[in-house]
Amino acid sequence: MEQPNLVRAWALALSALLAAMALGSTAAPAGPAAGTAGFGDRTLWLGMRGRDVRHLQKHLNRLKAPTVVDGQFGKGTRRSVMSVEDRHGWVPVNGKVSPKEAKRIKGKVNKQRRRKETRAARRSHVFPIPGPHDYGGAQARFGAPRSGHTHQGQDVSAACGERLFNAHGGTVKAKAYQGSGAGHYLVVRGKDKTDYVYMHLGKASWATEGTKLYAGQQIGRVGDSGNASGCHLHFEMWWPPGWYTGGRPFDPYRYLKHWDSYS
């Protein structure tokens, strides 16, 4: 029985060695393997992928250096990094994100967020989606034909999970779920007596009937709950006395565009 044991011992030693080598290659800072590292834990460049690359890509978009958010550091991402480096005079402009540069990027994003929040606090109305968004075509507009009715609002598409803000200060009038249509939705009676309606939220809003909300306060996230093809906000505005309490909806497009111009 000596011999097989020896063989097994050798096999174990060999597999341990192989495992160590494999570990070594993932831990190497230059490794292109998928990372579980946090943003800023390692230097990122072309060919790398991981959660931290995705994080970087989101930040680049917030800094108006657009790139696809897919967790893959491709040429487009490198171009975006270089444009940010160039814009701020971070030398060398090489498209590599060292932990130090990651910290600078986070700093810029946070500063921008604070600036937006301060600006929003001074405005009575805020555009409900802070990230990249799209108003779509004719089908997305108020009054567009739908089977059996017309579209009562404006659709604005955005990334699933994008933050959703309350457009105008007020009080939650209704919070509900409608599987066949609106999905998770929220109706806010504005201080201006207009009702503001948000549909297809990713999850039910934390806010409930009677909750007081300020303009720019996060009410949830963009989603595709209910009858929605793709993540988007279906947004409605209703004249007083409001949403299904005797009022009627009107086209919110030009209001959205206006808030969008400064938010």
Contact residues: Zn ion, CB under 5 A: 155, 234
* Residue 149 beta carbon to Zn ion: minimum distance, rounded to whole angstroms: 11
Least CB distance to Zn ion at residue 90 (A):
42
- Partner residues linked to 44 by β-bridges: 97
Neighbours of 30 (CB within 10 A): 10
Cβ 168 to Zn ion shortest distance, Å: 19
| Residue 257: alpha-carbon gap to chain centroid | 20
Comparing CB distances to Zn ion, the nearer of 40 and 183 is 183
- The upper half-sphere exposure of residue 214, i.e. CA atoms within 13 Å in the direction of its Cβ, equals 8
> What are the residue ranges of helices labelled H in the chain?
2-27, 51-62, 75-88, 99-122, 253-262
Q: Measured from the CB of residue 221, what is the shortest distance to Zn ion in angstroms? A: 17
Joined together, the tokens standing for residue 211 give 């909750």
Nearer of residues 168 and 234 to Zn ion, judged by Cβ: 234
Cβ closest to Zn ion, residue 39 vs residue 142 = 142
Residues of 97-109 as b/e, b for ≥16 C-beta within 10 angstroms? beeebbebbeebb
**Cβ proximity to Zn ion, 55 vs 151, nearer residue:** 151
Q: How far is the CB of 216 from Zn ion (least distance, A)?
A: 23
> How does strand 218-221 pair with strand 163-165?
antiparallel
Min dist CB 263 to Zn ion, Å, is 21
- Residue 141: CB minimum distance to Zn ion, A: 9
Q: Read off the tokens for 84.
A: 């940010």
Instruction: For Cα atoms 140, 144, 146, give the angle at the middle one, nearest 5 degrees.
Output: 100
Q: Which is nearer to Zn ion, 219 or 228 (CB)?
A: 228
**Residue nearer to Zn ion on the CB measure, 85 or 236:** 236
Question: Whose CA is closest to 56, among 102, 116, 111?
Answer: 102
* Closest residue to Zn ion: CB criterion: 234
At residue 216's C-alpha, the angle toward residues 81 and 242, to 5°, is 135
Residue closer to Zn ion (CB basis): 122 or 254:
254
